[in-house]
Chains A and B, each alone.
Chain A
Amino acid sequence: MSDIVLYTILTVTAVGVTAATILYFAAQKFKVYEDPRIDQVEEALPAANCGGCGYPGCRNFAEVCVNTDDLDSLFCPVGGNETMASVASILGKAVTEQAPKVAVIRCNGQPQFRARTTEYNGAINCTIEHMNGAGDTACQYGCLGGGECVDACNFDAIHMNAETLLPEVIDDLCTACGACVEACPRDIIELRTKAKKDRKIFVSCVSQDKGITTKKACDVGCISCSKCFKVCPYDAITMGNNIAFIDADKCRLCRKCVVVCPTSSILEIGFPPRRVKEEKVVAKEKPDNVDNKEKNA
Chain B
Amino acid sequence: MLKTFPKGGVHPPENKISADKAIVELPLPKKVFIPISQHIGAPAKIIVKRGDIVKVGQIIASAGGYVSANIHSSVSGKVAKLDKIFDTSGYRKDVVVIDVNGDEWLESIDKTTTLIKDISVDSEEILKKITECGIVGLGGATFPTHVKLKVPPKKIATTLIINGVECEPYLTSDHRLMMEKSEELMVGTQILMKALAVDIAYIGIENNKLDAIQKLSELATQYKGIEVVPLKVKYPQGGEKQLIKAIINREVPSGGLPIDVGAVVHNVGTTVAVYEAVQKNKPLFERIVTVTGKSVKEPQNLLVRIGIPVIQLIEAAGGLPEDTGKVISGGPMMGKALNSLDVPMAKGTSGILIMPEDESKRKDDKPCIRCTKCVSVCPMGLEPFLLMTLGENQLWERNEDERIMDCIECGSCVFVCPSDRALLDYIRLGKNKVGQLIRERKVN
Enumerate chain A interface residues (CB-CB to B < 8 A).
117-118, 121-123, 125, 127-128, 131-134, 140, 209-210, 213
Contact = CB atoms under 8 A, between A and B. Distances in A.
Nearest to A183: B394
Main secondary structure of the interface of A (DSSP, over half): loop
B89 A128 contact: no
A131 B429 contact: yes
Nearest to B362: A121
A117 B84 contact: no
A249 B374 CA distance: 54
Given A121-B361, A122-B362, A213 B425 contact: no
A34 B337 CA distance: 58
B429 A132 contact: no
B340 A128 contact: no
A134 B90 contact: yes
Interface in B85-105: 86, 89-92
B339 interface: yes
A123 B432 contact: no
A131 B90 CA distance: 9
B426 interface: yes
A210 B82 CA distance: 13
Contacts of A133: 89-91, 336, 339
Identify whether the interface residues of B are mostly helix, strand, loop, or mixed: mixed
A101 to B, nearest CB: 25
A213 B339 contact: no
Given A134-B90, A140-B91, A209-B84, A117 B339 contact: yes
Contacts of A127: 429, 432
Contacts of A210: 84
B91 A134 contact: yes
A93 B426 CA distance: 47
Interface centre among B86, B339, B365 (most CB of A within 10 A): B339
Interface of B: 84, 86, 89-92, 336-337, 339-340, 360-362, 365, 422, 425-426, 428-429, 432
Q: Kindly name the residue among A118, A123, A128, A209 whose own CB sees the greatest number of chain B CB atoms within 10 A.
A: A123
Nearest to A134: B90
Interface hub of B340, B360, B425 (most chain A Cβ within 10 A) = B425
A123 B428 CA distance: 11
A117 B362 contact: no
A213 B83 CA distance: 11
Contacts of B92: 134, 140, 209, 213
Nearest to A118: B339
A122 B90 contact: no
A174 to B, nearest CB: 22
A132 B426 contact: no
Contacts of A121: 337, 360-362
Contact of A128 (B91, B365, B428): B428
B84 A213 contact: yes
A123 B425 contact: yes
B380 to A, nearest CB: 20
Contacts of B90: 132-134, 140
